[in-house]
């Protein structure tokens, strides 16, 4: 088994199936040893409403996945001394983006993201909001300038997806690329 550790956070925006796909791909990757799973309260609600899944269902995907209560600011991932290899918020709500861009660490989600920024580890923010107002745009730029990778959920259609899972998986491949875990995937653009 590999030795890399990552965190996936599902926050309160539509698109939780994208987060589930990223979680599944990370858990299946041979280079990944551990995946910390975080859900904001509204992230849990969106997950159930959109996919019918609960936290226990996500943890059952793989023994590599460990759920952490987002109120537990004493968790290992809240410290820069804990060695992890990156974090993705999929989906990232506009509220989570704003807290991260402002350095507000009131939950484990925003604290773990802040740790990635300060330690210069990959932080992928998959914003799911439309339309965007000026505050959203400024927060995306602030997060980018602080070192985050801002990757709005904009699935590609060049792969001619036949089911929604094709869109989720193609996007998940791109997220893993940003986390430094490139995979071979038949859905990549080939020219």
Pairing assessment for the beta strands 32-39 and 87-92 based on DSSP bridges: unpaired
Structural domain contains residue 99: yes
* Domains in the chain, number: 1
Q: What is the pLDDT of residues 105-137, one digit of tens each?
A: 999 999 999 999 999 999 999 999 999 999 999
Residue that is written with structure tokens 């990944």 in the block:
32
> What local confidence, expressed as pLDDT, does residue 187 receive?
66
Q: What is the pLDDT of residues 143-188, one digit of tens each?
A: 999 999 999 999 988 888 999 999 999 999 999 999 999 777 666 6
Mean pLDDT of 8-27: 97
pLDDT at 2 over 90: no
Q: Considering the chain, what is the average pLDDT of its residues?
A: 95
Give the three-state DSSP class for 34.
Answer: strand
Structural domain contains residue 183: no
Q: What is the pLDDT of residues 64-103, one digit of tens each?
A: 999 999 999 999 999 999 999 999 999 999 999 999 999 9
- Is the Cα torsion angle 62, 25, 146, 117 positive or negative in sign? positive
Structural domain contains residue 79: yes
Structural domain contains residue 191: no
The structure tokens listed for 148 are 């985050």
Give the three-state DSSP class for 21.
Answer: helix
Structural domain contains residue 147: yes
> What local confidence, expressed as pLDDT, does residue 35 receive?
98
Structural domain contains residue 184: no
Structural domain contains residue 153: yes
Structural domain contains residue 108: yes
> What local confidence, expressed as pLDDT, does residue 156 receive?
86
> What local confidence, expressed as pLDDT, does residue 186 receive?
61
Residue 91 belongs to a domain with what CATH number? Answer: 3.40.50.1950
Domain extent at residue 168: 4-178
pLDDT at 1 over 60: no
CA gap 63, 66 in Å, rounded: 8
């Amino acid at each position: 088994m590999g030795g890399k550790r990552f965190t996936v956070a599902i926050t309160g925006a539509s698109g939780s199936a994208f987060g589930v796909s990223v979680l599944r791909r990370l858990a299946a990757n041979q280079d990944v040893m551990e995946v910390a799973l975080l859900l904001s309260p509204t992230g849990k609600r969106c997950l159930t409403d959109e996919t019918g899944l609960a936290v226990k269902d996500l943890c059952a995907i793989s023994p590599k996945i460990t759920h952490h209560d987002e109120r537990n600011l004493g968790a290992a991932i809240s410290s820069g001394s804990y060695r992890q290899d990156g974090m993705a918020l999929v989906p990232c709500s506009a509220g989570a983006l704003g807290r991260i861009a402002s350095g507000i660490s009131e939950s484990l989600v925003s604290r773990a993201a802040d740790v990635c920024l300060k330690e210069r580890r990959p932080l992928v923010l998959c914003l799911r909001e439309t339309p965007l107002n000026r505050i959203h745009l400024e927060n995306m730029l602030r997060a980018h300038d602080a070192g985050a990778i801002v990757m709005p959920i904009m699935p590609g259609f060049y792969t001619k997806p036949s089911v929604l899972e094709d869109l989720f998986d193609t996007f998940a491949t791109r997220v893993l690329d940003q986390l430094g875990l490139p995979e071979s995937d038949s859905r990549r653009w080939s020219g």
